[in-house]
Amino acid sequence: MTVDVIILTYKPDQKFLSAMDALKRQSLKPGKIIIMNTGQDYFEALTPESVFLEKYDNGVILHVKETDFDHGKTRNEAVSHVEADCFVMMTQDAVPFDDYLLENLVKILKDVENIAVSYARQMPNDQSDELECFIRNFNYGPGPIDKSKNDVDKLGIKAYFCSNVCSIYHTGIFKNLGGFPGKTIFNEDMIYAKKALDAGYIIHYEPQAMVYHAHHYTYRQQFKRNFDLGVSHAEYPEVFSGLAAESEGIRMIKAATLHLIKKGKPWLLFKLFCQSLAKYRGFRLGLRFQTLTLKKILKYTNNPLYWK
């Protein structure tokens, strides 16, 4: 199977160039690497396009105005340039763990016909503390997972879990299902996953395909991110209604608490508590964004242009 790669960028930095270098070393070479960049000046501030394209000769750079960016629509536009059997969706801060990322992702789509999308394992980096490492390993374990529509009752919202930080899509299935939603503030990957499960396809988690990816958000950033998460749940009740998102968070908090005590790092419990409170408050406010004034929404959101 042939594969293209799509990377969304916004104010890219050296980590993005590290990801490009790692993609260049892959055992399975991508056909095209489509860079969907928001804000041309930000890209030029990192590297001139001519220099970039000379080094990465399979690169394609497409620019989007900040006012036109949308998590679903912009990705769909990038997919319209895909010519391969499948494509890998990545963010600019996801750096391949080794030279076999693409090979391991493509292999599962090649071997199992009914998989619509497979997502990679996200590994903590060397700046991650004990809590961040635990959360990454809690969400992305060492064993593969296959999820079908029969698992929704058992797994709840986890059945739709899928991350565009790094995931591979079967191009034909993606286009037949209509791709990502045309307008969404967040969660375009999970909305698509729900659509794929309903159509009888499988969502696969492939732990042998790995990327370094870790965030070090402030509590305010966590609040804003989860506000947008709540908004997406409210805007797509046909996907998320009836699935308790909080229960999975509570399970993680309990497991993290026991882990930190066992590791002899109880001081990180304060960070866990504050982080969890920020996430919860942001999410609950996002769920009822329709009761808020635009002024408050713009204060709480991480994506103010979505509302303008």
Is the pLDDT at 216 greater than 90? The verdict is no
Q: What pLDDT, on a 0 to 100 scale, did the predictor assign at position 289?
A: 98
Question: pTM for the full model?
Answer: 0.95
Q: How far apart are CA 188 and CA 74, in angstroms?
A: 11
Q: Which two tokens stand for residue 218?
A: 């402030």
Mean pLDDT of the 261-290 span:
96
Residues 6+ apart with CB under 8 A from 271: 131
Q: Let me know whether 189 and 52 are in one domain.
A: yes
Domain stop point among 182, 212, 242: 212
Sign of torsion, CA 276 282 284 287? negative
Q: What is the pLDDT of residues 73-114, one digit of tens each?
A: 999 999 999 999 999 999 999 999 999 999 999 999 998 889
Q: Let me know whether 271 and 193 are in one domain.
A: no
Is the pLDDT at 144 greater than 80? The verdict is yes
Q: How far apart are CA 228 and CA 125, in angstroms?
A: 25
Mean pLDDT of the 9-28 span:
97
Intra-chain end-to-end CA distance of the chain, in Å: 41
Q: What pLDDT, on a 0 to 100 scale, did the predictor assign at position 241?
A: 84
Is the pLDDT at 126 greater than 90? The verdict is no
Query: Per the structure, how many domains does the chain have?
Result: 2
Q: How far apart are CA 246 and CA 30, in angstroms?
A: 39
Q: Let me know whether 225 and 240 are in one domain.
A: yes
pLDDT band of 291, cuts 50, 70, 90: very high
Q: Let me know whether 34 and 130 are in one domain.
A: yes
Query: Left (φ > 0), alpha (ψ -120 to 50) or beta: where does 22 sit?
Result: alpha
Q: Which two tokens stand for residue 97?
A: 């763990």
Mean pLDDT of the 182-187 span:
94
CA dihedral 237, 242, 245, 251 (to 10 degrees): -170
Mean pLDDT of the 204-219 span:
95
Q: Let me know whether 155 and 223 are in one domain.
A: no
pLDDT band of 215, cuts 50, 70, 90: confident
Domain stop point among 212, 247, 265: 212
Task: Give the residue numbers spanning the domain of 270.
Answer: 219-307
Q: Let me know whether 36 and 57 are in one domain.
A: yes
Domain stop point among 194, 212, 230: 212
Mean pLDDT of the 277-300 span:
97
Q: Let me know whether 190 and 302 are in one domain.
A: no
Q: What pLDDT, on a 0 to 100 scale, did the predictor assign at position 113?
A: 84
Is the pLDDT at 55 greater than 90? The verdict is yes
Q: What pLDDT, on a 0 to 100 scale, did the predictor assign at position 308?
A: 82
What's the chain's average pLDDT?
95
Using alpha carbons, list the distances in angstroms from residue 3 to 85, 107, 171, 265, 306. Answer: 6, 11, 9, 43, 31
Q: Let me know whether 99 and 229 are in one domain.
A: no
Q: What is the pLDDT of residues 220-275, one digit of tens each?
A: 999 999 999 999 999 999 999 877 667 778 899 999 999 999 999 999 999 999 99
Q: What pLDDT, on a 0 to 100 scale, did the predictor assign at position 249?
A: 84
Q: What pLDDT, on a 0 to 100 scale, did the predictor assign at position 31?
A: 97
CATH number for the domain that contains residue 140: 3.90.550.10
> 């790094």: which residue's tokens?
166
Q: Let me know whether 187 and 77 are in one domain.
A: yes
Q: How far apart are CA 223 and CA 174, in angstroms?
A: 32
What is the percentage of the chain residues whose pLDDT exceeds 70?
Answer: 99
